[in-house]
């Protein structure tokens, strides 16, 4: 029971219609708009169009191929160059996709593709590849220094000496991704995007 003076949520239901009001026709009450039925279909198609296969699918891991190649540089040197080719293939594919999306939306496709190419080249290939390379190289130097000590503080088995740098390189990959992404965002926001704007 509502309090006296309190507004009712549905005022039309609390009052009887005036005597002169005509009852609603059956044709108007029976016809229902098609919008509620079409809304889920439209929402589903929009979600499919907004889904980015280069960022939201397994293709994203192609951008990390060169980091894996760097981790295995001393165990499988032949896979380093192919890993970079895979990573740059991913970069080019993502840049092309972002350029087409921008063109279809009426924006500059060339600038969107260029911005994506620079961002991915730095954040997915160049900087993480260099960091993993240095993690593996310095790990090897540290283990070699321990082995060269007379007497060595600990006897390291050969498999440990061989595979520890690779394991450290692989473990470092998920730790460096997010800081590098934020750093490259800050770099572009402070340089090219300050002049030409940030692609939407």
SS3 string, 172-183, reads: HHHHHHHHHHHH
Is the pLDDT confidence value at 190 over 50?
A: yes
Q: Give me the torsion for CA of 167, 169, 172, 177, rounded to 10°.
A: -140
The per-residue pLDDT for range 8-36, each reduced to its tens digit, is 433 444 444 444 444 554 444 445 454 44
The per-residue pLDDT for range 85-111, each reduced to its tens digit, is 999 999 999 999 999 999 999 888 999
Distances (CA, A) of 129 to 69, 96, 132: 9, 23, 5
For the entire predicted model, the pTM comes to 0.71
The per-residue pLDDT for range 26-66, each reduced to its tens digit, is 444 445 454 444 444 444 444 455 678 877 788 888 988 99
């Amino acid at each position: 029971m509502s309090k006296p003076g309190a507004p009712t949520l549905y005022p039309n239901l609390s009052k009887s219609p005036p005597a002169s009001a005509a009852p609603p026709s059956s044709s108007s009450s029976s016809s229902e708009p098609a919008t509620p039925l079409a809304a889920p279909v439209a929402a589903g198609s929009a979600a499919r169009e907004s889904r980015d296969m280069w960022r939201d699918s397994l293709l994203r891991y192609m951008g990390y191929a060169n980091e894996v190649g760097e981790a295995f540089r001393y165990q499988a040197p032949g896979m380093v160059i192919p890993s970079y080719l895979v990573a740059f293939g991913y970069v080019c594919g993502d840049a092309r996709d972002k350029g087409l999306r921008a063109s279809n939306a009426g924006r500059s496709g060339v600038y969107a593709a260029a911005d994506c190419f620079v961002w991915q080249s730095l954040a997915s290939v160049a900087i993480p590849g260099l960091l993993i390379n240095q993690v593996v190289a310095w790990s090897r130097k540290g283990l070699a220094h321990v082995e060269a000590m007379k007497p060595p503080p600990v006897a390291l088995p050969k498999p440990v000496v061989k595979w520890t740098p690779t394991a450290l390189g692989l473990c470092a990959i998920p730790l460096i991704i997010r800081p590098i992404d934020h750093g490259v965002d800050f770099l572009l926001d402070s340089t090219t995007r300050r002049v030409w704007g940030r692609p939407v």
